[in-house]
Amino acid sequence: MALFDTLSFLLYWLAVGVFFLLVATALRFFRPTLKGIRGPPRSSFWLGNQGDIRYQGEVGDVEFPWLNEFGGAWKLYGPLGEERLALADPKALQYVLQTSGYRFPKSPDTRASVRMILGEGIAWVHGDQHQRHRKIMNPAFSVPQLKSFMPLFLRHANKLVQKWKDQEISPATGNDPVINIHPWLSRTTLDVIGEAGFGYQFGALDDTKSQHELSGVYDNLFVDSTLYPHRWDIVFRAIWKYFSPSVLYFLRYLPSREYQRFRSYQDFMRVFGRKLISQAQVDTKGTAKDVMSVLMRANEAEEAALKLSEGEVIDQISTILLAGHDTTANSLTWWLYELARHPEWQERVRDEIRVVRRKLTERGVDDFTIADLEGMSVMHATLKEAMRLHTIVWMLSRVAGQDDVIPLSTPITTETGERISSIPVQKGQNIEISIATYNRNPDVWGVDAHEWNPDRFMRLDKAGMTSVGVYANLLNFSAGIRGCIGWRFSVIEMQAIAATLIENFEFALPPQTKDNIIKRMPTGIMAPMADGHVGIWMGLTVKACGGL
């Protein structure tokens, strides 16, 4: 009987969905929303330009030419004739992400997808509820709190160094082995967030049982679930905005690979999260400094009506774990790739680190401080440049909560040849935030925006730029009230691991055969992959080095 009731429920909503699909298609066909805005022709009525974006060979294959042709704002077609506004203009992005507060919320399909992956934590809630979550979580990511993690970051970075020397670089493997660096970096950052975030020893670098439990849910999570999705799913998501969140919740039970993988991840994390919470609750004296203990103390101090529920706290854990290790590991992976491609810059970074090391030795000090890392201007410039070229989350979606006018820093040309410096939008207008394209916009970064040039960050005129992102004016951590709450944690962690690795190893590209060419695959989190290897792969030749 339960199975019959569930089937009837699904068939009912399927029928409702088909009805809304037909109505929505008719409305979109007869009522364009972005009159005069230029953009690429739709390649399919059913998919619009979403097929071009989701099935492109690499991130940027279609967006970068569109930026070049149409400027910082252009019209895209979504499924079933829907018109979408794509933005890569800094003033437009500042307006949507910063100036307007919550007036441009995440689109319904984006929120539903986030809920499937991360539950009802800070990444899903909106408006007053988002403010409530952020207020309670802020103390856990304060600057003094993050500075206390510096020894922890360095300890795990040095542990990775020793693991490579013991297991990857040995007489048995040859002097210059090709190492897939991504899983190693992912395991390192997982251990970091385990200890710094929850006071928990995952043992990912030690191949312990905990690591094996987590590896099953994290390994290739976004590759398996978001790379080249079924065409029907792209069309299906276009009608999600017509359903309430309570109905969309049940989509997690759909049998396709996208939904099954995220459901398995969330189910695991909710069980695992309760285990972590029970451990944090043992800290009765309030001395623990991990993120979860600080968050729970802040939550206990809040008035009852504003406290996070146990379910909300558990879903914060899923968010902190995923965002706190996977994106950082990917950013470091792309950084080492670029230094392998540009050995002259790699040597400049290493020389800078050695100068600092000599000063530490003269003072009788063993470890870098945050001040030491902050003073490494060459390393900083290369990290920022790698993040600019290889943004991990490469697109965001927003929707206009009311009729509005979006300003532009650089005018665009309409279909009639008119030059306009603002775009009126109607309530409900879907907007695509093209992070990867903004990060390569020549109007922002110069005529060499597609080229590797860390010097741009050493001579950047911030006063002459439109303020957009929270870090280096990049959009990697988003911006405004929904900017990544843990961005400082990630930056300090990257600096510590980066300095430690470059001090100890030299990185080079392996033979560039067809099987080894790295591609920027358009998964939910942009992943490095190669035709000759399964899953995420960033193979680099690694050679031990050392000395002052």
Q: What is the pLDDT of residues 392-403, one digit of tens each?
A: 999 999 999 999
Give the integer Cα–Cα distance in Å for 242 and 108: 9
Give the integer Cα–Cα distance in Å for 382 and 378: 6
Backbone angles phi, psi at 430, to 5 degrees: -80, 140
Highest mean pLDDT, choosing among 133-142, 216-225, 376-385: 376-385
Give the integer Cα–Cα distance in Å for 106 and 119: 15
CA distance to 157, 173, 257, 309, per residue, from 545 (Å): 16, 16, 44, 50
At residue 208, the pLDDT reads 59
Range 276-303 average pLDDT: 74
CATH class of 32-544: mainly alpha
Is pLDDT at 1 greater than 50 in this prediction? no
At residue 19, the pLDDT reads 54
- The mean of the pLDDT values for the chain is 89
pLDDT in tens, 209-251: 555 577 667 888 889 889 999 999 999 999 999 999 889 999 8
At residue 214, the pLDDT reads 73
Range 533-548 average pLDDT: 88
pLDDT cut 70: percent of the chain above it: 90
Tell me which of 285 and 258 has the higher pLDDT: 258
Give the integer Cα–Cα distance in Å for 126 and 128: 6
Tell me which of 299 and 359 has the higher pLDDT: 359
pLDDT in tens, 167-218: 888 766 566 799 999 999 999 999 999 899 888 888 889 875 555 577 667 8
Q: Are 299 and 307 within 8 A, CB to CB?
A: yes
Q: Are 505 and 164 within 8 A, CB to CB?
A: yes
Q: Are 523 and 506 within 8 A, CB to CB?
A: no
User: SS3 for 86?
Assistant: strand
**Element containing residue 540 per DSSP (H, E):** strand 539-544
Give the helix ranges, DSSP H, for 101-180: 108-118, 128-137, 143-147, 150-163
pLDDT in tens, 506-525: 999 999 999 999 999 999 99
Give the integer Cα–Cα distance in Å for 490 and 477: 10
Backbone CA torsion sign across 171, 172, 176, 180:
negative
pLDDT cut 90: percent of the chain above it: 66
